[in-house]
A and B are shown apart, each in its own frame.
Chain A
Amino acid sequence: MSVVATMIPPQAPPPVPPKPYTLTRFVGSVALGIWLALAVGIFLTVVGGWDPDKFAKYGPRFLNGLGVTLMLVGLSIVMGAILSLPIAFARMSKNRFLSWFAYAYVYFFRGTPLLAQLFLIYYGLGSFRPQLEAIGVWWFFRDAWNCAIFAFTLNTAAYQAEILRGAIESVPRGQREGAAALGLPGRVAFWKIILPQAMIVALRPYGNEIILMIKGSAIVAIVTVFDLMGETRYAFSRTFDFQMYIWAALLYLVMVEILRNIWSLLEARLTRHLKR
C-alpha cells in the first residue's frame, strides 16, 4: 500500500484561446467608429461655430418653444384621455349605431395623417367662417394654437380609445363573473376590479402614445405655432446655421429618453406584484 505523500501543486488554468478577429467584430468596430466620429464631428462643429450672440438670441426662444411643445402635448393627452372614455364605451356598447359611430371615428383619425387632420381643421374650417361666427365659436378656430390643440385632442382620443378598449377587453371574463358572484354592483366591479387590471395592460401603450404625440407635435410648426420645431425653423431661416437642427434633435431626444425611462420605472413599480 502506498500513500500519496505529495499532492500535485495547484496549477493555473490553461490560457484562454485568443478570440479570432471575425468579420462581425470588424463591422462592429467600424459602426461604432462611425457613431463616434459623428458625435465628435457634431461636438466640434458646435464648439467651432459657437456664437454667443446667436445663443443669447435664440436660446431663450428654444426654451420657450420647448415649453410650448410640452404644454401642447400635456393638454392634448389629458383632454384626449377624457374624450376617449365615452368613445371606448361607445365602441364596446351593444347599441349598433353607437358602436358603428365610434368605429368610424376611430378609423378616420387612425387612418389619415395628423397633418391632413390639422389642415382640415385649421384651413378647412375657415371656409365655414359665417356659420362659425353665427354660433359664436369663430374666435376659437381663428387661432392656430387652439386648432392644434383641438386636432391633437381628437386624434389622440381615437388612439387612446383603442388602447382603453383593448385593455378592458383583455381582462378575463372570469374577473367580471367573480365580481358578480360576490354580489358587487357593476360600477364597483368596474372601478375596483376591471379598470386596475386593464390599466396595467394599457400602461405601455399609453407611454408609446405620449412619445408619439411628442414626436407628432413637431408638425404644428407648419401652421405657424412656435413650438420647439417652429422656433428651430425660425432660427434656421434667419441664420442658415445647421446647428439649430442639431440642437432641436438633441432636445427632442432628451425629452423622449427621459419619458421612456420614467415610464419603464413606473411600469416596474406598478407591476412588481406580478414578478415571479
Chain B
Amino acid sequence: MSGLFAGFYSILSWIGSIVDPFCGPVGVFTWFGPGTLLACGDTGWGDDIAHGFIITASLAIATLPVGLLIGFFIALGKQSEERTVRLASNIYTTIFRGLPELLTLFIVYYGLQILVQQLLASLGYEGPVEINAFFAGMIALGVVFSAYCSEVLLSAFKAIPHGQYEAGDALGFHRGRTMRLIILPQLVRIALPGLGNLWMALLKDTALVSVVGLTDILRQTGIAARVTKQAFEFYGVACVLFLILAMISSIVFSHLERRTKRAEMGR
C-alpha cells in the first residue's frame, strides 16, 4: 500500500517537474536562465526562487479557506439579534483591522512560541520551541483576512432582500438549507469583487512572512541578492513574480465573475 502511494507520489512529482513553469523542460529559467544568475541547479538561483514562488502561492492558497470561514461566521455574528454576539464580533474586526499586519504576525509568532513554551514547561519539557513560520503566517494572515472579509460579506448580506429568507421559509427549508441553497449563491455573486481585492491584498501580505524566516519569494531573492551583490536584479525579479501572481489571479477572478454573472446575462 505504501509502495502504491510512493509510486503515485513519484508520478505526481514527475508530472510536476515536466510542467514546472520555471525549471522544467519548458520552464522560463531553463530556456533563458543558463549562463546567468537565474540558472537552475547549483550554478544559479533559478530553482531556489521557483521554490519561493511555490511557497508564496501555497501560503496564500492555504490562508484563503481559513480566512473565508472565520470571516463568514464573523459576518453572521455581526448581524445577529443577540447584542453580545454583535459586540464580540465588532471587537474582533476593530482589533484586527487596526493592527499592522506585521505586528499581528509578530504577536502570533512570538506569542505562540511563548505560550507553547510555557505549556510544555508546565508539562516538564524544557527545550527550545520553534513555531513553524508557515503556520504562524497562515494564522496571522488568516485572522487579518477574516476581519476584512467579514465586512465585505456583511455588506453583501445586507444587499440580499429579506424576501429571499422568507422564500426559504415558505418552501419549508430550515435555516441551514436556506443559507446554503438560496443565500450563499447570491452572496458569492455580490461579494466576489470585494473578495478579489482582499485576495490581492493577501498575496501582497504574504511577503511579510519572509521577515520571520519563511523561504518565500522575497526571502529567497533577498538571500540571492546578498550573496551575489546584485540586489536590484533580484528584487526586480521578486517584483515581477508578484506581478505575475497578481495577473494570474485577476484572470481567474474575471472568469469567476463572468461565471457567477451567467444568470444575469440575458436581461
Contact = CB atoms under 8 A, between A and B. Distances in A.
A256 interface: yes
Given A28-B82, A108-B243, A112-B204, A245 B232 contact: no
The number of chain B residues touching the other chain, given as a range, is: 35 or more
Contacts of B82: 22, 24-25, 28
B100 A229 contact: yes
Contacts of A232: 103
Contact of A249 (B107, B211, B235, B236): B107
B95 interface: yes
A241 B200 CA distance: 34
Contact of A113 (B86, B218, B247): B218
B91 interface: yes
Given A24-B81, A25-B84, A257 B242 contact: no
A205 B9 CA distance: 48
A112 to B, nearest CB: 4
Given A219-B208, A229-B103, A24 B98 contact: no
B259 interface: no
A57 B240 CA distance: 43
Contact of A218 (B77, B87, B100, B230): B100
A116 B100 contact: no
Interface string A19-39: 000101101110110110000
A123 B231 CA distance: 6
Contacts of A24: 80-82, 85
Contact of B103 (A34, A124, A245): A245
B64 interface: no
Q: Is the interface of B mostly helix, strand, loop or mixed?
A: helix
Given A218-B100, A253-B95, A116 B242 contact: yes
Interface in A31-86: 31-32, 34-35
B249 to A, nearest CB: 10
A31 B231 contact: no
Contacts of B99: 215, 249, 252-253
A115 interface: yes
Chain A residues touching B, majority SS:
helix
A199 B101 CA distance: 29
A248 interface: yes
A127 to B, nearest CB: 5
B41 interface: no
Given A116-B239, A120-B235, A248 B103 contact: yes
A120 B233 CA distance: 9
Contacts of A113: 204-208, 218, 242
B85 A218 contact: no
Contacts of B208: 113, 115, 219
Given A112-B239, A113-B205, A257-B94, A126 B231 contact: yes
Contact of A123 (B83, B200, B211, B225): B225
A119 interface: yes
A35 B232 contact: no
Interface centre among A22, A28, A110, A252 (most CB of B within 10 A): A28
8 contacts: A28-B85, A34-B88, A113-B206, A113-B208, A219-B102, A221-B102, A245-B107, A249-B103
For the complex of A and B, the 10 pairs showing the least CB-CB separation, nearest first, are A28-B84, A31-B88, A124-B232, A113-B207, A28-B85, A218-B100, A111-B246, A256-B98, A123-B231, A215-B100
